[in-house]
Amino acid sequence: GENVEQHPSTLSVQEGDSAVIKCTYSDSASNYFPWYKQELGKRPQLIIDIRSNVGEKKDQRIAVTLNKTAKHFSLHITETQPEDSAVYFCAGTRAAMFSGGYNKLIFGAGTRLAVHP
Amino acid sequence: EAQVTQNPRYLITVTGKKLTVTCSQNMNHEYMSWYRQDPGLGLRQIYYSMNVEVTDKGDVPEGYKVSRKEKRNFPLILESPSPNQTSLYFCASSSDRGVGELFFGEGSRLTVL
């Protein structure tokens, strides 16, 4: 089955610097890779996602890259701001083990990002 | 307002006392799911449901039950809670069979003594 590993578990940067979080996945059939941000005491919320037919996707200061050959994908945050401080989760799909083909998201363990003013 | 609502938000209970965490969504989503969040382990799926009366186990289903009698509701049942079920629980729904955006509830923090 799918396994998603996320690194680093904690990341501390100065405001204005870039932050990069990396994830690897095991199932070569995985085809959908979202990133969720969870602020302290809040629910996770989708910030960006990428599908396997695309190598890179950007949305303002955040971008995600996907390397299918190496089975890893990364979240890049540029010009970090204090409000970027949160826990970030990557995830990957895994085909369900029954007819119907529903996919199930497998989450990484999370990265706690701290942006210091 | 589109939302996923969980209750209770906080609960302290004792070992063996049955409890139910309710989840309701108003977005007419077919897909609903329960996750538990534990430090260092991320979000692990407990059960999920593709539609009314269709449910399946996630990665950590032991000790939990679910039902999906109505499209909007997906309660999580702990028949005989144990301390290792102390966790933060999230319900989520999606319109895209679980591979589109997941909309999470606010979470339910459960402590089993």
In this complex, the residue of B42, B50, B107 whose CB is nearest that of residue A108 is B42
Residue type, B53: E
What is the nearest CA distance from A117 to chain B, expressed in angstroms? 26
**What is residue B83's three-state secondary structure?**
helix
Question: Buried (b) or exposed (e) across B90-99, using 16+ Cβ within 10 A?
Answer: bbbbbeebbb
> pLDDT tens track of chain B, all 113 residues?
889 999 999 999 999 999 999 999 999 999 999 999 999 899 999 999 988 999 999 999 999 999 999 999 999 999 999 999 999 999 999 987 666 789 999 999 999 99
Q: How many CB atoms lie within 10 A of CB B22?
A: 16
Does residue A68 sit in helix, strand or coil?
Answer: coil
Q: Which of A89, A51, A31, A96 is nearest to B59 (CA)?
A: A96
Q: Is the dihedral of CA B32, B34, B40, B41 positive or negative?
A: negative
